[in-house]
Structure 1
Amino acid sequence: MAVSSETSLTLTYSAGAGAARLPELADLPVIENPSAVAPQDARELARALLVRLADLEEGTPAYSYVRGTLIELNLSLVRYAAGRFRNAKEPMDDIVQVGTVGLIKAIDRFDPDRGLEFSTFALPTIIGEIKRHFRDTTWAAHVPRRMQELRLTLVKAQEELEQRLDRAPTVAELAERMEVSEEEVVESMTATNAHTAGSLEMRLADDSPDSTLMRRLGYEDSRITRVEDLESLKPLIAALPERDRLVLSLRFVGELTQAQIGERLGVSQMHVSRMLSRTLAKLRAELTPED
């Protein structure tokens, strides 16, 4: 491989490692530390390696060697692309890992005969892979794709306007900057809340150690239903004959037995039982009328 004089000053080649075991790569330099290669040198080497990769058979040791070297030489592109998402809540290591997948796809798809600079071709592929990761795997709830993509635009617009205005931008200012309607900006802000989900066991700030989010959530209180039933019963009980109201009061307020009620009213226990059954059946029918 032809190497420029500038490249030879910054790289150290050796005849060991992979190339020594692969005769078809004998003319290629072995890069002992690809991460230490200067950007200009990396571009020159990548251009030559991509041409060679196109001539090698996929799956061969030589192909794997050249492909792996290309990946290491171009990791700076991945880090550059990942830096655009530094404000995301995802760990940077995860974003770089996803971006590396995009780099590998770009290497596999690149056609040297088209005359394009590899970085020009690879960068959109890497960024697209990272965006796809955020769109498909990092949302706690399903959100339409347009809203997911609009959220990324919203974050960028907020950062730019905050720096320019030295304050938080309004919805109208964001809509103008993003060239969308104010309703879409509000929807995008709402969609942002679906990106992450907190644990129900999460302790709330400035609260006692046993105060969790679960304790703040609403739940069905059976006592509310009881209050509603009592309020509905009041007019129905008021409409009963006085003797029936007295029996209900002695039984359920005074908590007397049927025998005690019978003694007080001078009737048999059986008679009290029939009165209670009749009165309760009437109240139940009026409280829950059939449709």
Structure 2
Amino acid sequence: MPVSAIAPTPAPARRAPRAQEDRNARAVALLERARSAPEAERTRLQQQVVVEYLDVADAVASRYVLRPQDAGDVRQVAYLGLTKAVQRFAPDRGADIVSFAVPTIAGEIKRHLRDTSWVVRPPRQLQELHAELRTAVPRIAQQLGHDPSPAEIAAETGFAVEHVVEAIDCGQGRQPASLDAPHAATPDGSLTLGDTLHASGADFARAEVSAALAAACRTLSPRERRILYLRFFHEQTQAEIARECGVTQMQISRLLTKILSTLRGQLTPDLLAA
């Protein structure tokens, strides 16, 4: 995955400082009124503040949108974070709503992306490093005048090179390639990625039988599973199994016949034929 692919989406321009101050003063006054208002009135006043600051939630959300189709979900999560921030905001502990709300909104989005957006989920440490690099890489690229190599990123951030490589590559877990995507060799779409991946029908049949056998084996007793394991995984003879289990070879023979009969009874005719 190219390093430049993890660059974040630019955030919208900020309001003028004077306009921010005026808006903050109005919102703080509303929330001061809400503290002593009845529940219905308090909810209405808080919702009024939320609507006033939707652009802040949109700005934070824009930093985390990786695919256009995810924009709506991320924006909704950002609005949820904004609502929580407004409900928790205490005017007597701080007068800047934006400074209080932005970390709450970002935290909600990060949790959402961590829990839902990874098709193949890497360790949390790699997820967090990947998010950090999305901010660091553009800055490093601007300083160097070119896309930085993993070694250059590691030198600037203090992370190990191998961790940087893993964090950059793990971003592919969010957007796996479609099997219907055109193959690079045929941009006209005459050959898809799925066309280049071959697997025999026998492989799928064996996988299905293995899954069914695993479920059937869980119905056996621990002793029966042990005998099955020694016979077919360690390839021990019946005499060797008998000595290990402290019984006669004839008893092991009868137990194996019973175990195999039990397993066959739990498989469908199609699986038995495979």
SS in 2 for 1:193: helix
- 1:189 and 2:163 are equivalent in the alignment: no
**Runs of 5+ unmatched residues, structure 1:** 1-36, 223-288
Q: 1:69 to 1:221 in 2, by over 3 A?
A: closer
| Structure 1 residues 39-118: aligned runs within 5 Å | 39-58=20-39, 60=40, 62-85=41-64, 88-90=66-68, 91-118=70-97
Give yes or no for contact 1:101–1:126 (8 Å, CA) kept in 2: yes
Where 2:78 maps in the other structure, the secondary structure is helix
Per-residue deviation, 1:70 = 0.6
User: 1:290 Cα shift?
Assistant: 9.9
* 8 A contact 1:201–1:212 mirrored in 2: yes
Q: CA deviation at 1:38?
A: 4.2
> In structure 1, the residue corresponding to 2:189 is in which secondary structure?
coil
CA distance 1:208–1:74, shift in 2 (3 Å): closer
**Among residues 113, 118, 136, which one is paired with 2:115 in the alignment?**
136
Aligned amino acid, residue 22 of structure 2: D
Given the superposition, is the C-alpha separation of residues 116 and 44 from structure 1 closer, same or farther in structure 2, using an over 3 Å criterion? closer
Q: Which residue of 2 is the match for residue 215 of structure 1?
A: 195
**Post-superposition shift, 1:63?**
2.3
1:95-244, aligned counterparts within 5 Å? Answer: 95-205=74-184, 206-220=186-200
Task: Give, as a single letter, the amino acid of the residue that structure 2 aligns with 1:191.
Answer: C
Letter in 2 for 1:57: P
Letter in 1 for 2:169: T
Normalised to the residue count of structure 1, the TM-score between the two structures is 0.57
Within 1, Cα distance between the matches of 2:141 and 2:67?
Answer: 19
| TM-score under structure 2 length normalisation | 0.61
State the distance in 1 between where 2:121 and 2:83 align: 29
Task: Judge which range, 205-214 or 65-74, deviates more.
Answer: 205-214
CA pair 221-168 structure 1, distance change in 2 beyond 3 A? farther
Q: CA-to-partner distance for each residue in 1:164-202, whole Å, 9 max, x for gaps?
A: 212121111111222211121111122111111233222
What amino acid is aligned across from residue 23 of structure 2 in structure 1?
A
Greater RCO structure (CA 8 Å; 6+ sep):
2
Which amino acid letter does the alignment assign opposite residue 42 of structure 1?
R
Q: Distance in 1 between matches of 2:30 and 2:191?
A: 60
* Amino acid of the structure 2 residue aligned with 1:130: I
- 1:77/1:207 CA distance change after superposition, 3 Å: closer
Q: Call closer, same or farther: CA 1:45–1:184 in 2, change over 3 Å.
A: same
Task: Tell me if the contact between 2:28 and 2:95 (Cα under 8 Å) persists in the aligned partners.
Answer: no
Q: Distance in 1 between matches of 2:91 and 2:78?
A: 22
5+ long unaligned stretches in structure 2: 1-17, 203-234, 238-274
Partners of 2:19 and 2:96 in 1: how far apart? 17
Give per-residue Cα distances to partners, 1:26-76, cap 9 Å, x unaligned: xxxxxxxxxxx9433211111101111222233x1x223212211111112
Deviation per CA, 1:269-289, whole angstroms, max 9, x where unpaired?
xxxxxxxxxxxxxxxxxxxx9
CA distance in 2, matches of 1:163, 1:39: 30
Whichever residue aligns with residue 36 of structure 2, its letter is D
Q: What secondary structure does 2:173 align onto? A: coil
1:107-142 deviation per Cα after TM superposition (whole angstroms, max 9, x unaligned): 111222323422221111011112222211111112
Q: Counterpart of 1:252? A: none
Distance 1:115 1:207, change over 3 A: closer
Cα distance in 2 between the residues matched to 1:53 and 1:216: 63
Structure (1 or 2) with the larger CA radius of gyration: 1
| 8 Å Cα contact 1:106/1:125 also seen in 2 | yes
**Counterpart amino acid of 1:53?**
A
- Report if the CA contact (8 A) 2:181-2:189 is conserved: no
**The residue matched to 2:92 in structure 1 has which SS?**
helix
